[in-house]
Copies of this chain bind each other. A is one copy, B any other.
Amino acid sequence: MVRFGVLGAGRIGKVHAHSLADSGRASVAYVADAMPEAARALADGVGAKVASVEEVIAARDVDAILIATPTDTHADLIEQAARAGKAILCEKPVSLSVERIEKCLPVVEQAGVPLMIGFHRRYDPNYSVLEKRIRNGEIGDVEIVTIACRDPSAPPVSYIERSGGLYRDMMIHDFDMARFLLGEEPVVVHALGGNLVDPAIGKAGDIDTAAVHMQTASGKIAVITNSRRATYGHDQRIEVHGSKGLLRAGNVHLTTVEKADESGWTEDKIPFSFIERYEQAYRIEINAFLTFLEKGEKPTASGYDGLMAQKLAEAATESLKTGQAVKVK
Protein backbone atom coordinates (compact mmCIF):
# COMPACT_ATOMS: atom_id res chain seq x y z
CA MET A 1 0.00 0.00 0.00
CA VAL A 2 1.55 3.24 -1.21
CA ARG A 3 0.75 6.16 1.10
CA PHE A 4 -0.11 9.38 -0.68
CA GLY A 5 -0.11 13.02 0.18
CA VAL A 6 -2.57 14.85 -2.03
CA LEU A 7 -1.84 18.50 -2.77
CA GLY A 8 -4.92 20.30 -4.10
CA ALA A 9 -8.51 19.35 -3.34
CA GLY A 10 -10.09 20.84 -6.44
CA ARG A 11 -11.96 18.99 -9.16
CA ILE A 12 -9.10 16.84 -10.39
CA GLY A 13 -7.55 16.39 -6.94
CA LYS A 14 -10.83 14.87 -5.79
CA VAL A 15 -11.05 12.51 -8.75
CA HIS A 16 -7.53 11.24 -8.17
CA ALA A 17 -7.80 11.01 -4.37
CA HIS A 18 -10.89 8.85 -4.68
CA SER A 19 -9.26 6.68 -7.33
CA LEU A 20 -6.35 6.14 -4.96
CA ALA A 21 -8.63 5.32 -2.06
CA ASP A 22 -10.69 2.91 -4.18
CA SER A 23 -7.67 1.25 -5.82
CA GLY A 24 -7.03 -1.21 -3.03
CA ARG A 25 -3.34 -0.57 -3.68
CA ALA A 26 -2.85 2.83 -2.06
CA SER A 27 -4.11 5.05 0.71
CA VAL A 28 -4.42 8.79 1.05
CA ALA A 29 -2.70 9.86 4.24
CA TYR A 30 -2.93 13.65 3.92
CA VAL A 31 -4.73 16.29 1.94
CA ALA A 32 -3.55 19.90 1.66
CA ASP A 33 -5.34 22.79 0.03
CA ALA A 34 -5.28 26.56 0.30
CA MET A 35 -8.96 26.38 1.15
CA PRO A 36 -9.23 24.50 4.46
CA GLU A 37 -12.86 23.42 3.97
CA ALA A 38 -12.06 21.86 0.61
CA ALA A 39 -9.13 19.99 2.17
CA ARG A 40 -11.32 18.88 5.08
CA ALA A 41 -14.16 17.64 2.88
CA LEU A 42 -11.86 15.61 0.67
CA ALA A 43 -9.81 14.29 3.60
CA ASP A 44 -12.99 13.07 5.26
CA GLY A 45 -14.13 11.42 2.09
CA VAL A 46 -10.97 9.35 1.66
CA GLY A 47 -10.03 8.81 5.31
CA ALA A 48 -7.07 11.19 5.34
CA LYS A 49 -5.79 13.96 7.61
CA VAL A 50 -5.55 17.63 6.70
CA ALA A 51 -2.12 19.19 6.77
CA SER A 52 -0.15 22.01 5.19
CA VAL A 53 1.68 21.48 1.92
CA GLU A 54 5.00 21.56 3.74
CA GLU A 55 3.84 19.05 6.34
CA VAL A 56 2.55 16.70 3.68
CA ILE A 57 5.79 16.77 1.73
CA ALA A 58 7.82 16.26 4.89
CA ALA A 59 5.61 13.54 6.37
CA ARG A 60 7.39 10.26 7.12
CA ASP A 61 4.25 8.26 6.43
CA VAL A 62 3.95 9.57 2.89
CA ASP A 63 5.56 7.68 0.01
CA ALA A 64 4.20 9.64 -2.92
CA ILE A 65 2.91 13.09 -3.65
CA LEU A 66 0.01 13.82 -5.98
CA ILE A 67 0.21 17.39 -7.22
CA ALA A 68 -3.14 18.84 -8.29
CA THR A 69 -2.62 22.45 -7.27
CA PRO A 70 -2.74 25.48 -9.59
CA THR A 71 -0.29 25.26 -12.48
CA ASP A 72 2.10 27.97 -11.30
CA THR A 73 2.97 25.94 -8.19
CA HIS A 74 3.74 22.65 -9.97
CA ALA A 75 7.45 23.09 -10.64
CA ASP A 76 8.23 24.27 -7.11
CA LEU A 77 6.26 21.44 -5.54
CA ILE A 78 7.88 18.86 -7.80
CA GLU A 79 11.30 20.06 -6.67
CA GLN A 80 10.33 20.05 -3.00
CA ALA A 81 8.79 16.59 -3.22
CA ALA A 82 11.79 15.29 -5.14
CA ARG A 83 14.18 16.64 -2.53
CA ALA A 84 12.09 14.97 0.13
CA GLY A 85 12.55 11.68 -1.73
CA LYS A 86 8.90 11.21 -2.65
CA ALA A 87 7.50 9.66 -5.81
CA ILE A 88 5.54 12.24 -7.79
CA LEU A 89 2.43 12.24 -9.93
CA CYS A 90 1.93 15.77 -11.20
CA GLU A 91 -1.00 17.08 -13.17
CA LYS A 92 -0.01 18.59 -16.50
CA PRO A 93 1.75 20.90 -17.09
CA VAL A 94 4.96 20.97 -15.13
CA SER A 95 5.06 24.68 -15.91
CA LEU A 96 3.82 27.07 -18.55
CA SER A 97 7.47 27.97 -19.11
CA VAL A 98 9.75 25.60 -20.97
CA GLU A 99 12.69 27.23 -19.23
CA ARG A 100 11.25 26.47 -15.83
CA ILE A 101 10.64 22.81 -16.77
CA GLU A 102 14.19 22.51 -17.97
CA LYS A 103 15.39 23.59 -14.54
CA CYS A 104 12.94 21.37 -12.69
CA LEU A 105 13.55 18.03 -14.36
CA PRO A 106 17.24 17.74 -13.42
CA VAL A 107 16.25 18.20 -9.76
CA VAL A 108 14.00 15.16 -10.07
CA GLU A 109 16.66 13.21 -11.88
CA GLN A 110 19.27 14.01 -9.26
CA ALA A 111 16.89 12.96 -6.50
CA GLY A 112 16.26 9.73 -8.34
CA VAL A 113 12.54 9.73 -7.58
CA PRO A 114 9.84 8.48 -9.91
CA LEU A 115 7.92 11.21 -11.76
CA MET A 116 4.86 10.81 -13.93
CA ILE A 117 2.92 13.60 -15.66
CA GLY A 118 -0.87 13.47 -15.75
CA PHE A 119 -1.55 13.28 -19.45
CA HIS A 120 -4.70 11.31 -18.76
CA ARG A 121 -5.69 10.81 -22.38
CA ARG A 122 -2.83 8.35 -22.87
CA TYR A 123 -4.73 6.07 -20.49
CA ASP A 124 -8.09 6.34 -22.19
CA PRO A 125 -8.90 2.77 -23.27
CA ASN A 126 -9.70 3.89 -26.81
CA TYR A 127 -6.53 5.88 -27.32
CA SER A 128 -4.26 3.37 -25.64
CA VAL A 129 -5.65 0.63 -27.90
CA LEU A 130 -5.22 2.94 -30.88
CA GLU A 131 -1.58 3.47 -29.99
CA LYS A 132 -0.95 -0.21 -29.39
CA ARG A 133 -2.43 -1.15 -32.73
CA ILE A 134 -0.26 1.44 -34.45
CA ARG A 135 2.83 0.12 -32.69
CA ASN A 136 1.81 -3.42 -33.68
CA GLY A 137 2.13 -2.29 -37.28
CA GLU A 138 -1.51 -2.64 -38.24
CA ILE A 139 -1.41 0.43 -40.47
CA GLY A 140 2.28 0.35 -41.39
CA ASP A 141 4.16 3.64 -41.06
CA VAL A 142 2.29 6.54 -39.54
CA GLU A 143 1.91 9.35 -42.08
CA ILE A 144 -0.80 11.80 -40.96
CA VAL A 145 -2.23 12.22 -37.45
CA THR A 146 -5.42 14.30 -37.29
CA ILE A 147 -6.80 15.40 -33.93
CA ALA A 148 -10.07 17.29 -33.40
CA CYS A 149 -10.73 18.54 -29.91
CA ARG A 150 -13.55 20.88 -29.00
CA ASP A 151 -14.78 21.92 -25.58
CA PRO A 152 -18.49 22.47 -25.02
CA SER A 153 -17.87 25.95 -23.66
CA ALA A 154 -15.07 28.28 -22.69
CA PRO A 155 -13.77 28.57 -19.12
CA PRO A 156 -14.23 31.94 -17.33
CA VAL A 157 -12.07 34.77 -18.62
CA SER A 158 -10.42 34.96 -15.20
CA TYR A 159 -9.14 31.44 -15.82
CA ILE A 160 -8.10 32.17 -19.39
CA GLU A 161 -6.05 35.15 -18.27
CA ARG A 162 -3.81 32.87 -16.16
CA SER A 163 -3.91 29.89 -18.49
CA GLY A 164 -0.93 30.63 -20.69
CA GLY A 165 -3.24 30.74 -23.70
CA LEU A 166 -5.17 28.10 -25.64
CA TYR A 167 -2.09 26.29 -26.96
CA ARG A 168 -0.61 25.82 -23.48
CA ASP A 169 -3.88 25.24 -21.68
CA MET A 170 -6.05 23.23 -24.04
CA MET A 171 -4.05 22.08 -27.05
CA ILE A 172 -1.28 20.84 -24.74
CA HIS A 173 -3.17 17.52 -24.53
CA ASP A 174 -3.25 17.26 -28.30
CA PHE A 175 0.45 18.07 -28.60
CA ASP A 176 1.13 15.22 -26.21
CA MET A 177 -1.24 12.91 -28.09
CA ALA A 178 0.37 13.82 -31.43
CA ARG A 179 3.82 12.92 -30.07
CA PHE A 180 2.40 9.73 -28.52
CA LEU A 181 0.97 8.57 -31.83
CA LEU A 182 3.60 9.90 -34.25
CA GLY A 183 6.38 8.19 -32.34
CA GLU A 184 8.66 11.02 -33.48
CA GLU A 185 9.28 14.62 -32.46
CA PRO A 186 7.76 17.40 -34.56
CA VAL A 187 10.47 19.80 -35.68
CA VAL A 188 8.39 22.51 -37.29
CA VAL A 189 5.14 24.05 -36.09
CA HIS A 190 2.75 26.52 -37.69
CA ALA A 191 -0.26 27.87 -35.83
CA LEU A 192 -3.47 29.69 -36.74
CA GLY A 193 -5.82 31.17 -34.19
CA GLY A 194 -8.99 33.18 -34.19
CA ASN A 195 -11.39 34.78 -31.77
CA LEU A 196 -14.77 33.57 -32.97
CA VAL A 197 -16.46 32.34 -29.80
CA ASP A 198 -16.35 35.18 -27.28
CA PRO A 199 -14.93 38.69 -27.75
CA ALA A 200 -14.02 38.73 -24.04
CA ILE A 201 -11.47 36.01 -24.74
CA GLY A 202 -9.93 38.17 -27.44
CA LYS A 203 -9.77 41.12 -25.06
CA ALA A 204 -7.96 38.89 -22.59
CA GLY A 205 -5.35 38.36 -25.29
CA ASP A 206 -6.26 34.80 -26.14
CA ILE A 207 -7.86 32.90 -29.00
CA ASP A 208 -10.74 30.39 -28.91
CA THR A 209 -10.52 28.71 -32.30
CA ALA A 210 -7.23 27.25 -33.44
CA ALA A 211 -5.39 25.03 -35.86
CA VAL A 212 -1.82 23.83 -35.64
CA HIS A 213 0.04 21.61 -38.01
CA MET A 214 3.45 20.14 -37.42
CA GLN A 215 5.96 17.94 -39.19
CA THR A 216 8.67 15.57 -38.02
CA ALA A 217 12.13 15.35 -39.54
CA SER A 218 11.11 12.26 -41.51
CA GLY A 219 8.09 14.07 -42.98
CA LYS A 220 5.21 12.75 -40.86
CA ILE A 221 2.47 15.30 -40.30
CA ALA A 222 0.15 16.07 -37.38
CA VAL A 223 -2.87 18.35 -37.73
CA ILE A 224 -4.78 19.64 -34.70
CA THR A 225 -7.94 21.75 -34.49
CA ASN A 226 -9.42 23.18 -31.29
CA SER A 227 -12.46 25.18 -30.39
CA ARG A 228 -13.67 26.53 -27.07
CA ARG A 229 -17.25 25.92 -28.21
CA ALA A 230 -19.14 22.82 -29.28
CA THR A 231 -22.90 22.73 -28.88
CA TYR A 232 -22.81 18.95 -29.09
CA GLY A 233 -20.42 18.15 -26.23
CA HIS A 234 -16.79 17.41 -25.47
CA ASP A 235 -15.73 16.43 -28.97
CA GLN A 236 -12.59 14.26 -29.02
CA ARG A 237 -11.58 12.47 -32.16
CA ILE A 238 -8.29 11.12 -33.39
CA GLU A 239 -7.38 9.62 -36.73
CA VAL A 240 -4.13 8.13 -37.92
CA HIS A 241 -3.44 7.53 -41.59
CA GLY A 242 -0.67 5.06 -42.31
CA SER A 243 0.97 3.35 -45.23
CA LYS A 244 -1.22 0.26 -44.78
CA GLY A 245 -4.50 1.72 -43.62
CA LEU A 246 -6.25 4.07 -41.24
CA LEU A 247 -7.15 3.82 -37.56
CA ARG A 248 -9.40 6.21 -35.73
CA ALA A 249 -10.95 6.61 -32.30
CA GLY A 250 -14.27 8.38 -32.31
CA ASN A 251 -16.37 9.95 -29.63
CA VAL A 252 -17.81 7.93 -26.78
CA HIS A 253 -21.57 8.31 -26.72
CA LEU A 254 -23.58 8.28 -23.48
CA THR A 255 -25.46 5.14 -24.51
CA THR A 256 -25.88 3.02 -27.63
CA VAL A 257 -29.49 4.19 -27.96
CA GLU A 258 -30.47 5.54 -31.36
CA LYS A 259 -33.73 7.12 -32.41
CA ALA A 260 -35.31 7.30 -35.84
CA ASP A 261 -38.02 9.80 -36.56
CA GLU A 262 -38.93 12.54 -39.04
CA SER A 263 -35.62 14.31 -38.49
CA GLY A 264 -33.40 11.32 -39.30
CA TRP A 265 -31.50 8.71 -37.27
CA THR A 266 -30.02 10.17 -34.12
CA GLU A 267 -27.28 8.64 -31.99
CA ASP A 268 -27.14 9.54 -28.34
CA LYS A 269 -25.17 12.55 -27.12
CA ILE A 270 -21.55 12.59 -26.13
CA PRO A 271 -20.50 13.77 -22.65
CA PHE A 272 -20.33 17.50 -22.03
CA SER A 273 -17.88 17.19 -19.14
CA PHE A 274 -14.29 16.06 -19.60
CA ILE A 275 -14.39 14.48 -16.14
CA GLU A 276 -17.24 12.28 -17.35
CA ARG A 277 -15.59 11.63 -20.72
CA TYR A 278 -12.30 10.57 -19.16
CA GLU A 279 -13.57 8.91 -15.99
CA GLN A 280 -12.01 5.58 -16.93
CA ALA A 281 -8.81 7.24 -18.12
CA TYR A 282 -8.28 8.94 -14.77
CA ARG A 283 -8.75 5.68 -12.89
CA ILE A 284 -6.43 3.79 -15.20
CA GLU A 285 -3.85 6.58 -14.93
CA ILE A 286 -3.76 6.24 -11.14
CA ASN A 287 -3.33 2.51 -11.43
CA ALA A 288 -0.60 2.96 -14.03
CA PHE A 289 1.27 5.19 -11.59
CA LEU A 290 0.91 2.58 -8.85
CA THR A 291 2.20 -0.12 -11.17
CA PHE A 292 5.07 2.17 -12.08
CA LEU A 293 5.94 2.50 -8.39
CA GLU A 294 5.49 -1.21 -7.67
CA LYS A 295 7.26 -2.65 -10.68
CA GLY A 296 9.43 0.19 -11.84
CA GLU A 297 7.87 0.12 -15.30
CA LYS A 298 8.60 3.34 -17.11
CA PRO A 299 5.53 5.57 -17.02
CA THR A 300 3.69 6.25 -20.25
CA ALA A 301 4.04 9.99 -19.67
CA SER A 302 7.35 11.11 -18.19
CA GLY A 303 8.73 14.51 -17.23
CA TYR A 304 10.39 14.54 -20.64
CA ASP A 305 6.99 14.17 -22.27
CA GLY A 306 5.78 17.12 -20.20
CA LEU A 307 8.73 19.15 -21.45
CA MET A 308 8.30 18.28 -25.09
CA ALA A 309 4.56 19.01 -25.17
CA GLN A 310 5.29 22.37 -23.58
CA LYS A 311 7.91 23.10 -26.24
CA LEU A 312 5.31 22.52 -28.94
CA ALA A 313 2.82 24.76 -27.13
CA GLU A 314 5.46 27.45 -26.86
CA ALA A 315 6.32 27.11 -30.54
CA ALA A 316 2.64 27.41 -31.48
CA THR A 317 2.27 30.48 -29.30
CA GLU A 318 5.25 32.08 -31.00
CA SER A 319 3.99 31.08 -34.45
CA LEU A 320 0.65 32.74 -33.76
CA LYS A 321 2.45 35.93 -32.72
CA THR A 322 4.80 36.09 -35.69
CA GLY A 323 2.53 34.48 -38.26
CA GLN A 324 5.45 32.32 -39.27
CA ALA A 325 6.46 28.69 -38.86
CA VAL A 326 8.66 27.94 -35.84
CA LYS A 327 11.42 25.34 -35.57
CA VAL A 328 11.42 23.22 -32.43
CA LYS A 329 14.77 22.26 -30.94
CA distance A233 to B241 in the complex (A): 12
CA distance A267 to B45 in the complex (A): 40
Q: Contact between A196 and B213 (Cβ–Cβ < 8 Å)?
A: no
Q: Contact between B220 and A196 (Cβ–Cβ < 8 Å)?
A: yes
Does A144 sit within 8 A of B, measured CB to CB?
A: yes
> Which B residues are in CB contact (< 8 Å) with A192?
188, 190, 213-215, 221
CA distance A182 to B110 in the complex (A): 53
Does A245 sit within 8 A of B, measured CB to CB?
A: yes
Q: Which residue of B lies closest to A232 (CB)?
A: B260
Contacts A22-B22, A246-B230, A265-B253 given: A144-B211 contact, CB under 8 Å? yes
Does A250 sit within 8 A of B, measured CB to CB?
A: yes
Does A158 sit within 8 A of B, measured CB to CB?
A: no
Q: Contact between B231 and A215 (Cβ–Cβ < 8 Å)?
A: no
Q: Which of A259-289 contact B (CB under 8 A)?
A: 259-270
B-contacting 9-mer, from A123-131, A160-168, A300-308, A310-318? A123-131
Of the candidates B210, B231, B325, the one whose C-beta lies within 8 Å of that of A262 is: B231
CA distance A306 to B146 in the complex (A): 28
Q: Contact between A223 and B219 (Cβ–Cβ < 8 Å)?
A: no
Q: Contact between A194 and B211 (Cβ–Cβ < 8 Å)?
A: no
Does A102 sit within 8 A of B, measured CB to CB?
A: no
> Which B residues are in CB contact (< 8 Å) with A35?
none
Q: Contact between B129 and A257 (Cβ–Cβ < 8 Å)?
A: yes
Does A141 sit within 8 A of B, measured CB to CB?
A: yes
Q: Contact between B231 and A245 (Cβ–Cβ < 8 Å)?
A: yes
Q: Contact between B232 and A261 (Cβ–Cβ < 8 Å)?
A: yes
User: Can you give 30 contacting A-B residue pairs, CB < 8 Å?
Assistant: A125-B255, A126-B255, A129-B255, A130-B257, A138-B259, A143-B194, A144-B209, A192-B214, A192-B221, A194-B215, A194-B218, A196-B218, A196-B219, A196-B220, A213-B213, A221-B225, A231-B245, A231-B261, A231-B262, A235-B260, A245-B259, A246-B261, A247-B260, A248-B257, A248-B260, A262-B269, A264-B269, A265-B267, A265-B268, A324-B324
Residues of A within 8 A of B (CB): 22, 125-126, 129-130, 133, 138-139, 141, 143-144, 146, 148, 150, 188, 190, 192, 194-197, 209-211, 213-215, 218-221, 223, 225, 227, 229-233, 235, 239, 241, 243-270, 323-325
